[in-house]
């Protein structure tokens, strides 16, 4: 029997066990304040701790694809100015409602705020802080678990003045670059080509990425790399040109992973799966309704259409909910070789900080319910999951 067939059989067995249980308990947290994506119209706030309210149980019973109630009904998501495409769709299309959950946005301006919020318990989930930063936090002892993905590849451009020649990433050697060596999508391949990018390049760090563009304009930097949200600024600047994108150099490099504290993930597996199911369905909708999503993100972010299209229309803007264990492993290895991880990283097995099981179960459940509506989409996701998420135990046996 195939891997997918075995997993489908397991899901059916688990369903039989769960439905024969006498009762199912749950806890929830709720909010009806501004910025909260409500899981049900007219519902009030749920208690922060203790057994689920009648409203919570009703949501769980009405959720079309959950066999168990989400442990929490409100998920606090770190939110940046660029918005969250999957969550915006999941809200608009009612997928969050159907799962019995809501997402409360916690506005953040810096990644430091994100990880401080996770530590202090004011943020549950982060999805826009890259892969390098959560891996660095893990190496420093922060107990995080990656359980999904947001951007597999962002359209992150390497830029220079229009007259600058470019033959490849080797042109960075011996030059001044306005970004950090932890951008392993560039520095990792340079390592593989025999260079020492940490020392062979002069690195200029700027807290505000817009200042990287100014550094290139002024001649302070020869090159810069900026984030996805700055494509509009780059495109409208006649003195700047795009030389390449990070994904041109390292395909499927894992731009942004979805992470939370390991404790939160272990205590809320049904909530995690509910969120993943909603986002998987949103990914399917995104693939089939591109222009509609452009308009949605204009409304959600309050930015002009040209700003949104500057990244959404770029073919390198690759959204994917899959946790991509293999890409995370590669990133961890590159960062270790670059000397960017804490010494304690030598004692850390990064596989223990990547949970692929919850996504795999959520994907199976979505396929069982919606697979006939979008056969090729779910077959593609199952193929990606099998390829990019090897099970460590099975690898050890081979």
Return the pLDDT at 9. 43
Statement: residue 17 has pLDDT above 50: no
Rounded Cα gap, residues 370 and 220, in angstroms: 53
Rounded Cα gap, residues 72 and 316, in angstroms: 35
Statement: residue 10 has pLDDT above 70: no
- For the chain, how many residues are written? 398
On whether residue 118 sits in a domain, the answer given is yes
On whether residue 390 sits in a domain, the answer given is yes
Neighbours of 346 (CB within 10 A): 9
Domain shared by 344 and 268, yes or no: yes
Burial of residue 339 (CB within 10 Å: 0-12, 13-18, 19+) is: exposed
Domain shared by 188 and 145, yes or no: no
Domain shared by 198 and 129, yes or no: no
27 contacts 53 by C-beta, under 8 angstroms: no
On whether residue 19 sits in a domain, the answer given is no
Range 135-139 contact pairs with CB under 8 angstroms and sequence separation of 24 or more: 135/328, 135/331, 135/332, 135/335, 135/341, 135/350, 136/182, 136/335, 136/340, 136/341, 136/342, 138/345, 138/348, 138/350, 138/353, 139/335, 139/341, 139/342, 139/344, 139/345, 139/348
Q: Which of 11-20, 61-70, 174-183, 225-234 has the lowest mean pLDDT?
A: 11-20
Report the CATH number at residue 183. 3.40.190.10
| 87-105 mean pLDDT | 98
Which domain-ending residue is among 228, 249, 270? Answer: 249
Q: For 241-299, how does the pLDDT look when each residue is reduced to its tens digit (9 = 90+)?
A: 999 999 999 999 999 999 999 999 999 999 999 999 999 999 999 999 999 999 999 99
Statement: residue 134 has pLDDT above 60: yes
Q: Which of 274-278, 298-302, 392-396 has the lowest mean pLDDT?
A: 392-396
Return the pLDDT at 67. 63
Domain shared by 187 and 315, yes or no: no
Beta strands in 318-398 (DSSP E): 318-319
Q: Which of 29-38, 78-87, 177-186, 368-377 has the lowest mean pLDDT?
A: 29-38
Domain shared by 216 and 270, yes or no: no
Neighbours of 105 (CB within 10 A): 17
Domain shared by 121 and 182, yes or no: no
DSSP output for 286-328: HHH-HHHHHHHHHHHH---HHHHHHHHTSTT-EE-----HHHH
Q: How much of the chain, in percent, has pLDDT values that exceed 90?
A: 77
Which domain-ending residue is among 232, 249, 266? Answer: 249
Statement: residue 309 has pLDDT above 80: yes
DSSP assignment letter at 125:
B
Q: Which of 4-8, 249-253, 314-318 has the lowest mean pLDDT?
A: 4-8
On whether residue 104 sits in a domain, the answer given is yes
Count CA within 13 A, CB hemisphere, residue 141.
2
| Domain carrying residue 205 | 157-249
| 169-179 mean pLDDT | 98
| 363-371 mean pLDDT | 96
Residue with the larger pLDDT of the pair 332 and 33 = 332
Statement: residue 36 has pLDDT above 90: no
CA distances 264 to 37, 124, 146, Å, are 20, 7, 11
* Number of domains within the chain: 2
Q: How much of the chain, in percent, has pLDDT values that exceed 70?
A: 81
On whether residue 85 sits in a domain, the answer given is yes
Domain shared by 218 and 299, yes or no: no
Domain shared by 199 and 283, yes or no: no
Q: For 186-221, how does the pLDDT look when each residue is reduced to its tens digit (9 = 90+)?
A: 999 999 999 999 999 999 999 889 999 999 999 999
On whether residue 265 sits in a domain, the answer given is yes
Statement: residue 224 has pLDDT above 60: yes
Statement: residue 305 has pLDDT above 50: yes
User: Quick one: three-class SS letters along 214-262?
Assistant: HHHHHCCCCEEECCHHHHHHHHCCCCEEEEEEHHHHCCCCCCCEEEEEH
Domain shared by 161 and 149, yes or no: no
Statement: residue 51 has pLDDT above 70: no
On whether residue 315 sits in a domain, the answer given is yes
Return the pLDDT at 82. 82
- Average confidence score pLDDT of the chain: 85
Which domain-ending residue is among 202, 219, 249? Answer: 249
Domain shared by 7 and 119, yes or no: yes
Domain shared by 271 and 137, yes or no: yes
Domain shared by 295 and 148, yes or no: yes
On whether residue 148 sits in a domain, the answer given is yes
């Amino acid at each position: 029997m195939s891997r997918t067939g075995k997993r489908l059989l397991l899901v059916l067995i688990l369903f039989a066990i769960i439905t024969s249980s006498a009762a199912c308990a749950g806890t929830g947290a709720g909010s009806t304040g501004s910025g909260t994506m409500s899981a049900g119209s007219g519902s009030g706030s749920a208690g922060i701790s203790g057994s689920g309210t009648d409203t919570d149980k009703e949501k769980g019973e009405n959720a079309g694809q959950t066999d168990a109630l989400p442990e929490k009904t409100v998920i606090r998501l770190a939110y940046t100015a660029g918005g969250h495409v999957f969550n915006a769709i999941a809200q608009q299309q009612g997928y969050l409602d159907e799962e019995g959950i809501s997402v409360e946005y916690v506005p953040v301006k810096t990644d430091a705020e994100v990880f401080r919020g996770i530590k202090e318990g004011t943020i549950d989930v982060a999805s826009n802080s890259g892969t390098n930063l959560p891996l660095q936090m893990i190496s420093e002892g922060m107990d995080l678990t990656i359980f999904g993905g947001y951007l597999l590849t962002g359209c992150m451009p390497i830029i220079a003045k229009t007259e600058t020649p470019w033959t490849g990433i080797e042109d960075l050697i011996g030059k001044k670059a306005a970004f950090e060596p932890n951008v392993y999508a560039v520095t990792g391949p340079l390592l593989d080509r025999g260079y020492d990018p940490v020392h062979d390049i002069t690195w200029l760090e700027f807290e505000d990425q817009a200042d990287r563009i100014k550094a290139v304009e002024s001649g302070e930097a020869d090159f810069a790399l900026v984030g996805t949200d700055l494509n509009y600024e780059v495109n409208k600047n006649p003195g700047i040109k795009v030389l390449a994108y990070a994904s041109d150099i390292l395909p499927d490099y894992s731009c942004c992973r979805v992470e939370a504290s390991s404790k939160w993930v272990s205590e809320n597996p049904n909530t995690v799966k509910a969120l993943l199911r909603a986002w998987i369905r949103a990914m399917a909708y995104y693939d089939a309704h591109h222009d509609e999503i452009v308009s949605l993100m204009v409304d959600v972010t309050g930015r002009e259409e040209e700003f949104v299209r500057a990244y959404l229309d770029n073919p390198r803007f690759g959204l994917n909910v899959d946790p991509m264990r293999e890409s995370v492993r590669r990133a961890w290895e590159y960062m270790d070789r670059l000397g960017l991880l804490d010494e304690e990283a030598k004692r850390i097995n990064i596989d223990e900080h990547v949970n692929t099981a919850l996504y795999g179960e959520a994907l199976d459940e979505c396929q069982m319910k919606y697979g006939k509506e979008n056969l090729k989409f779910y077959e593609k996701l199952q193929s990606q999951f099998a390829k990019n998420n090897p099970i460590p135990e099975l690898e050890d046996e081979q």
